[in-house]
Amino acid sequence: MLVVTCIKQVPDTTQVKVDPVTNTLVRDGIPLILNPYDTNALEEALRLKDKYGFRVAVLSMGPPNAELTLRKALALGADEAILISDRAFAGADTLATSNVLACAISKLSEKEEVGFVLCGKQTIDGDTAQVGPGIAVRLGYSQLTFVDRIENIEAGRKTVRVRRKLEGRHEVVESFFPAMISVVREINHLRYPTVPMRLNSKDARVTIWDNKVLGLDPNTVGLKGSPTWVSKIFSPERTKGQILGNGMADPEGTARLLVEKLKEKEVLTF
């Protein structure tokens, strides 16, 4: 059985600044990293491989340089890496992206049964958390979002039990698979590749699929297939804070003041 992990190479947004004049992201010299949530999705897929013997395929839609990220996934133990890259796919919103990814996954399922699609909860550049659910809907898979633990998989009954991390509570859900599972950071830590794994992945082949392979209607992909577009990006103005209390001179009083303020804002409720 195949576990497909969708990953995305994103600009390291801790470093991204918005140009105040043009209101666009300043991307010059900003390193590209693997979307942090996707590292957890990848790790979870690798753990399923270790535990159940599933095969792991990593899938990424992006420019040709995204191959580096896929190669890293291969170094970590993924069995297959596919880069979906075509000029026609550029400028896609979440709808067009999930359309392309769903098409690629169904193509993979022609050869081998796909049991799970693992995604990060969201990406740190778009922050929509829509692509995972979009894939699930298009493929007719169960949709399990914000998962912080995969508790059990029963191959016979084709069920999976997961724990979802919601605000202030957990929810344990059982569902049939194939399923799309989107994961939160708490689920695991990404393993570190050994050097032999890295060296072997140097020659590993990353398969590249373009629209000739996928054969999607050009009007449903890329900019053309995207009903949403970004009209403006800006940094919200930050109102200046205020220093209260006497700091180190009166640590007890400062701490008391802090607790009062937190209660006032209903951050503390006891």
Partner 1 sequence: MSLFFALFFVISIVIFAVSCYSTLGIVRHGLPENRFDNPGKRFNNMLKYGFGQKLLFREPYGNVHFVMFWSFLIFAAADLEMVLRCIFPVFTGISDKVPPVALLFDVAPALTLLAVLIGLARRFFLPPANIKDRSNDVLKMLAVIIILILAYFGSRGALVASGRSLPDYLPLSSFVAGFMANLSPENIDFLASCFLSVPALALLFFAVYVPYNRHMHMVTAIPNSFFRSLEKPSALKAEDFRAGNTFGAGQVNRFTWKDLLDTYSCTECGRCDAVCPAANTGKPLSPKRLVSSIQENLLANAADLKKGRKPSVSLIGEGKASISEEAIWSCTTCAACVESCPVSIEHLSKTVKMRRHLVQMEAKFPEELLGFFENMEQRSNPWGMAPSERTKWHANADVKTFEAGQTEYLFFVGCAGAFDSRARQVTIAFTKLLNAAGVSWGVLGNQEKCCGDSLRKLGNEYVFEQAVNENKKTFADKGVKKIVTHCPHCFNTLKNDYGLEVVHHSELISKLLKEGRLKFKSAANTGKVVFHDPCYLGRHNGMYDQPREIIAMTAGETPSEMGRSRERSFCCGAGGGRMWMEEYTGTRINRARVKEALGEKPGTISVSCPYCLIMFEDGLKDEGAFNDVSVKDIAEMVAERI
Least CB distance to partner 1 at residue 186 (A): 15
Least CB distance to partner 1 at residue 192 (A): 4
Q: Which is nearer to partner 1, 126 or 193 (CB)?
A: 193
Least CB distance to partner 1 at residue 159 (A): 33
User: How many other CB atoms are there within 10 angstroms of residue 197's CB atom?
Assistant: 15
User: How many other CB atoms are there within 10 angstroms of residue 243's CB atom?
Assistant: 6
**Residue 16: which of 1, 2, 3, 33 has the closest Cα?**
33
3-state secondary structure of 31: coil
Residue-level length of the chain: 270
User: How many other CB atoms are there within 10 angstroms of residue 238's CB atom?
Assistant: 6
Q: Which is nearer to partner 1, 189 or 224 (CB)?
A: 189
Cα–Cα distance for residue pair 243/249, rounded to 1 Å: 14
Q: Which is nearer to partner 1, 12 or 250 (CB)?
A: 12
Least CB distance to partner 1 at residue 203 (A): 8
Least CB distance to partner 1 at residue 95 (A): 30
Q: Which is nearer to partner 1, 36 or 91 (CB)?
A: 36
Cα–Cα distance for residue pair 113/106, rounded to 1 Å: 10
Token code pair at residue 156: 């016979």
> Interface residues with partner 1 (CB under 8 A)?
12, 14-15, 29, 31, 33, 189-196, 198-200, 202-203
Q: Which is nearer to partner 1, 17 or 51 (CB)?
A: 17
